[in-house]
Amino acid sequence: MATQTSIKTTAMAMTLLLTMAGITPSLAEDTLFSGENLNSGEFWRTGPYRFIMQGDCNLVLYVNKTKPLWNSRTNGRGTACRVTLQNNGNLVIFSGSDVIWTSDSSRGPNNYRLVMQSDGNVVIYGAALWATNTVQSKKKLL
């Protein structure tokens, strides 16, 4: 069984090969974890929805390939942009080291994920903030 690390390493190698061949890759995943990027030209596709970090630095969610549902309104504000989910829960578009857009969703250090849902909603989720701590082992339940 492949480990998560080997799967990510393989995916990164494939992306590099496709990029070197001049093919803009579509990311197979629909989740961005803390510290990960969606680079210029990369996108996710789920059903009729496409979430893309465009070459003009505009982050856009499309339905049916051409109808924008949402965008960051950052077109033309940078070059070779990337969107990063930071470990504080903030989604940030960078042009080089310059910040050109932020979701203003910083909540402090934790494990966050940006998910493109099948209903067309893109959501930042964080780790659990509270729990009853009443997890039961299967052995106790028998």
Q: Give residue 126's pLDDT.
A: 87
Q: Are 49 and 26 in contact (CB under 8 A)?
A: no
The model's pTM is: 0.70
Q: Within a 13 Å sphere around the CA of 64, how many CA atoms are in the beta-carbon half? A: 1
Sign of the C-alpha dihedral computed for residues 57, 49, 119 and 116 taken in this order: negative
Q: Give residue 21's pLDDT.
A: 40
Q: Give residue 10's pLDDT.
A: 46
Q: Give residue 110's pLDDT.
A: 86
Residue 65, number of CB atoms within 10 A of its CB: 9
pLDDT in tens, the chain (142 residues): 444 444 444 444 444 443 444 434 444 468 999 999 999 999 999 889 999 999 999 999 999 989 999 999 999 999 999 999 999 999 999 999 999 999 988 888 888 999 988 888 899 998 665 656 666 666 655 5
Structure token pair of residue 82 = 């990337």
Q: Give residue 98's pLDDT.
A: 96
